[in-house]
Structure 1
Amino acid sequence: MIELDAVSYSYGDDSVVENLSLSVEPGEVVGIIGPSGVGKTTVLRLLALRLRPSAGEVRLDGQSVWDTDERTRLSLRRQVGMVAQEASLFDATVARNVEYGLHVRKEWDERLRDRLAALVSSNGTPEAVHDALDLVELREKLDQPARSLSGGEAQRVSFARAVAYEPSHLLLDEPTSDLDPRNTGLIEDAIRDARARGIGVVVATHDMHQAERIADRVAVLLGDGFTEVGPTERVFESPTDERTRRFIDGELVY
C-alpha cells in the first residue's frame, strides 16, 4: 500500500496542497478529480516519491519513505511507475522505449534480471516488452521508430513502458486528455488490466465521467485539500460535502 498521511506541500511560501490523507491498495483504481490547476499533478508527484512533503508522511508498505537513506528511497521510488500527460519518448524504436524501465531497474531487482534474460525474439527483446505492448495493442509496432507514432499511440507506449517492470503502483496524469475515443478506450482497458494484475492505480483527471467508468474510489481535490474520499458511486450520487456536490453538479466555478 502507498499512503499519504496528513501531507502538505508548498512552493516557497505558496501552499499547494494541505493535510492530504489517502491510501492506495494493490489492485484498486483511485481517481483524483478536480479542476485544472488545483494540484492533482503535485499529489501524483508526492505519491511517486519525487517531491518531499513540507509536512506529513509518505509511506510505502508501511515504511516511511523520507525517513530512509537516499539509496533506499531510490529503491522504493523505482517500485512506482508514472505516466505524464504528454508522452515523452526517446528517439529509438518502440521496443527500446518500453525496455528502458527494465534496464534502469535491473541492478536492484533479481526478478527483473530474470525477465531481461527471458529473450523471445531474434532481436533480443525481453518477453516483458512483448507483454506490455500486447496490453496496449501495439505489438506490431515493436520495431517502428517511436517518433513516427501518432499521439494516441505514443501515450500507449508510455503506458507500456510504465507497466513493463510490473510496478507496485502506477500513477497516471490526465492520461487521455488529448486522445480520441478509441485510444481513450484502449488506455482505460489497460488500466483495468493493470488493476487485475494487482497493481494499485491512481488516475488524476478532470474528466468526471472517466473517473466514474474506471475508479473504485475517488478523491475530490478542491482548493488545497481533499473535500471527500470514498467509493465512486457513493461520492457521485450522495456526496457528504457541499463543495463536492456543487463541483459535481457544475455549480462550483474555478
Structure 2
Amino acid sequence: MMELDGVTHTYDTAPVVEDLSLSVESGEVVAIIGPSGVGKTTLLRILALFIEPQTGTIRFGDTDVWGCSDGERLALRRRIGMVFQEASLFDATVGRNVEYGLKVRRSWRDRLSDGLSEVLRSNGTPETVEEALGVVGLGEQLDQHAKSLSGGEAQRVSFARALAYDPDVLLLDEPTSDLDPRNTAVIEEAVAEARNRGIGVVIATHDMHQAERVADRVAVLLDREITEVGPTDTVFESPADERTAKFIDGELVY
C-alpha cells in the first residue's frame, strides 16, 4: 500500500530521521515505538505527505509520491487519514464534525452524483457518519454539540472523522496518550475495526504494551533510525538488534 525507502529529513542542519525504510500493507497495523522526541511524529507527517524528505522515495501503490504532479499528490493525500495526539473539533455538532472530512474530500457527494447507493438521514447527514460514530461508541451523540464532550470522547470523534471517509491508510499519533483506560480501550477496538476493513494503520506510541496489543508488526525508532522492524511477537521476545533489546528492557535512558 505505502512504502518508504531510504528516507532522510533534516530540520535546519539537524537530521531528525535518517535512511528510513518502512512499508504498510492493506489490513495490517504497524506500530512505531520509541521514546519521546525520537522522530515518530516527523515520520508520520512524512507518511501523511505533509513533509517532503530531503532524500529517499515514497511510493503509494505504484506511484512515486514526490515524482508526480501536485494534483496527483493531492488525490493521494485524500486517501490518507490522520488522528493527532490532541483532538481539534469545530464549534458544531458531533455529526457535523465527522461529516467535515467527507465534504473536504467530496467523497459522499461524488458517490451520490454517480448514482451509487448512499442514503442520507432526514437531516442530510450521510449514513457513513453515523456508522463511523458507532464504531467508537458515540452513535447516540450524533446531534450533541462537540464542545460538551469530554477529552476522551473528543478524541473518539476525531477517530470517527478519519474513519468515515474510508481511507486507504490511517495514521495515528499517540492517540491515547492522555486518555483513561475506558477511552483507550475504545480507540484500540476501533483500530482493530479499521484493520478489518482493509485499512493499513500506522500508530506511533511510546506505550509498548499498546503496541503488543494492537500491532501486527512493530518498527523501533531509535537514534533517528529504525533499528528493527518485524512481527510484534518476534521484536518483543527475540529482538535482533542490541539497541532494540536494551530499549525494550528499559536499559536505554533518553
Name the TM tier (shorter chain).
over 0.9
Rounded to whole Å, the distance in 2 between the matches of 1:82 and 1:43 is: 12
Superposed counterparts of 1:190-205, under 5 Å: 190-205=190-205
Partner of 2:26: 26
Rounded to whole Å, the distance in 2 between the matches of 1:223 and 1:197 is: 34
User: Offset at 1:115?
Assistant: 9.4
SS in 2 for 1:156: helix
Partner of 2:151: 151
Rounded to whole Å, the distance in 2 between the matches of 1:105 and 1:17 is: 30
Partner of 1:104: 104
Residue 217, structure 1, aligned to residue 217, structure 2? yes
Output the amino acid matched with 1:226: I
Please give the TM-score of this superposition, normalised by the length of structure 2.
0.97
Partner of 1:83: 83
User: Offset at 1:110?
Assistant: 3.9
Specify whether residues 44 and 112 from structure 1 end up closer, same or farther in structure 2 by C-alpha distance, changes over 3 A only. Answer: farther
Partner of 1:68: 68
Please give the TM-score of this superposition, normalised by the length of structure 1.
0.97
**Taking every aligned residue pair, what percent have the same amino acid on both sides?**
68
Rounded to whole Å, the distance in 1 between the matches of 2:115 and 2:163 is: 13
Partner of 2:36: 36
SS in 1 for 2:56: strand
Partner of 1:11: 11
Partner of 2:182: 182
Rounded to whole Å, the distance in 1 between the matches of 2:7 and 2:55 is: 5
Specify whether residues 69 and 203 from structure 1 end up closer, same or farther in structure 2 by C-alpha distance, changes over 3 A only. Answer: same
Question: In 2, are the aligned partners of 1:6 and 1:19 still within 8 Å (CA)?
Answer: yes
Specify whether residues 165 and 116 from structure 1 end up closer, same or farther in structure 2 by C-alpha distance, changes over 3 A only. Answer: farther
Question: In 1, are the aligned partners of 2:18 and 2:224 still within 8 Å (CA)?
Answer: yes
Output the amino acid matched with 1:67: G
User: Offset at 1:119?
Assistant: 3.6
Rounded to whole Å, the distance in 2 between the matches of 1:37 and 1:217 is: 21
Rounded to whole Å, the distance in 2 between the matches of 1:165 and 1:216 is: 23
- Structure 1: runs of 5 or more not aligned: none
SS in 2 for 1:4: strand
User: Offset at 1:122?
Assistant: 1.6
Matched residue count: 254
Runs of 4+ in structure 1 deviating by more than 3 angstroms, as ranges, are: 107-117
Output the amino acid matched with 2:19: N
SS in 1 for 2:195: helix
Partner of 2:235: 235
Specify whether residues 232 and 10 from structure 1 end up closer, same or farther in structure 2 by C-alpha distance, changes over 3 A only. Answer: same
- Structure 2: runs of 5 or more not aligned: none
Rounded to whole Å, the distance in 1 between the matches of 2:147 and 2:116 is: 24
Q: C-alpha root-mean-square deviation of aligned residues, in Å?
A: 1.7
Greater mean alpha carbon deviation, residues 98-107 or residues 32-41: 98-107
Deviation per residue, 1:146-183 (Å, 9 max, x gap): 11100000000000000100000000000100101110
